Structure 1
Amino acid sequence: MTITLHTPRVRTTLDRLFAEASRDDARPVGRASGTAQELADAREELYMPISRQGGELLYSLARACRPETVVEFGTSFGISTICLAAAVADNGTGRVFGTELNTAKVAAARANLEEAGLADTTTVLAGDALETLADVRGPIGLVLLDGWKDLCLPVLRLLEPRLAPGALVVADDIDQAGMADHLAYVRDPANGYVSVAFPVEDGMEISCRAA
């Protein structure tokens, strides 16, 4: 059985992207305040990716739960999108909807998905996630939250009515202070989630929509 994530075409694309991402520390960070659009445009060259191990985890989760619809908040250059799309391709069903605010990154992510041979299972939406994701139809089986940290909870609340029973919500970089509201929400049983922190790089929170 072919594991698309490990095929030469996908692996070559990911290796190139991770190599570029490793240079983030040498790139200008851009402005520290402003609108989401201004911040996204100021950090146009930054990859800010998930880790390799995080990508393997996303692939495994998507293979296990076989979601018909995957939503990704914060596509950037498409590293995590490729990992999710590889799982959807191997499942033989489903689609990944990514969203990205910066237009240059939208174009780059689409090109990278083409290079990896995974464009047919993905749609990268351009614009404000609170607007672009409003029209994605449910049921949504898997959500990756990896955009601006203060928007992760608002994006989750937007998607909640369309989450499938048992849907998984994965939040990256949970060590960042901006994730506090999201973590408090999904860790409160009253909100209908069973949630656990997973130790990959800056941490991922995996939350199951259980009620």
Structure 2
Amino acid sequence: MTHTHTLADPRVETAISRMFELSARDETAQAQLPPGALESMAPQELADAAAGIYMPISADGGKLLYNLVRAIRPATVVEFGMSYGISTLHLAAAVRDNGTGRVITTELSKEKIAAARGTFAETGLDDLITVLEGDARETLAGIEGPLELVLLDGWKDLCLPVLRMLEPRLRPGALVVADDIDQFEGPMRPYLDYVRDPANGYQNVSFPIEDGMEISCRL
């Protein structure tokens, strides 16, 4: 007997395929950013300058997120850094198939938010997704716990401040997933040093998917 799942829904499959195809142009778009932009620009400036860059999770990374959400059945999934919403669709598809839960996601770029909201509506997953516009250090400050799955995929130097802010609301056994740990090893170093220090209460495993993912379990 074949069991269908939401990632196989033609509307979702089409949207994800389309966005992955468009993301193939990312390198060209990235080359047009001012030299040193990633290091020197403020988050909002950078978000506006990078509005044309998809910066997606990898296809396997998306499937891993789907499986994690299915397995732990979180009531609330929090995503820092939605971009155009490829990872968000994987999270919301899993929430839909669990029959319970919601996804709260954050993004600075107005352009990306407008495009993603259209995509969420066309895939029929918009009822499960709340998009918060602005700096995640402000927009996520008021979120109520307990939180059971957090995806950190926004600007890398903000991953640690966002985690520290959400930490009091992480329930024991909560999973925190950070993407691109190999690609952005420098900016990710403070975050990785923090979660890998046993004194801070996490058990970690690095997944060799695309640019690397760090999965940390709150003890």
What do the CA deviations read for 1:34-54 (whole angstroms, capped 9, x no partner)? Answer: 211101101110001110000
Residues 92-107 of structure 1 mapped to structure 2, 5 A cutoff: 92-107=99-114
Residue 8 of structure 1, aligned match among 7, 10, 18: 10
The answer to whether structure 1 residue 151 and structure 2 residue 158 are counterparts is: yes
Amino acid in the other structure paired with 1:79? I
Amino acid in the other structure paired with 2:17? D
Q: Secondary structure at the match of 1:27?
A: helix
Using the TM superposition, give the Cα deviation of residue 2 of structure 1 relative to its aligned residue in structure 2, in angstroms.
2.5
1:202 alignment counterpart? 211
Aligned equivalents of 2:106 and 2:79: distance in 1? 6
What do the CA deviations read for 1:152-208 (whole angstroms, capped 9, x no partner)? Answer: 000000000111110000000001121101111111111000001001000000000
1:23 alignment counterpart? 25
Aligned-residue sequence identity (percent) comes to 65
Q: Secondary structure at the match of 1:208?
A: strand
Residue 42 of structure 2, aligned match among 29, 35, 59: 35
Say how many residue pairs are matched. Answer: 210
| Two-structure CA RMSD over aligned residues (Å) | 0.9
1:89 alignment counterpart? 96
Aligned equivalents of 2:97 and 2:158: distance in 1? 31
Q: Secondary structure at the match of 1:147?
A: coil
* Moved beyond 4 Å, runs of 4+: none
What do the CA deviations read for 1:80-114 (whole angstroms, capped 9, x no partner)? Answer: 00000000000111100000011111111111111
The answer to whether structure 1 residue 62 and structure 2 residue 69 are counterparts is: yes
Unmatched runs of 5 consecutive residues or more in structure 2? none
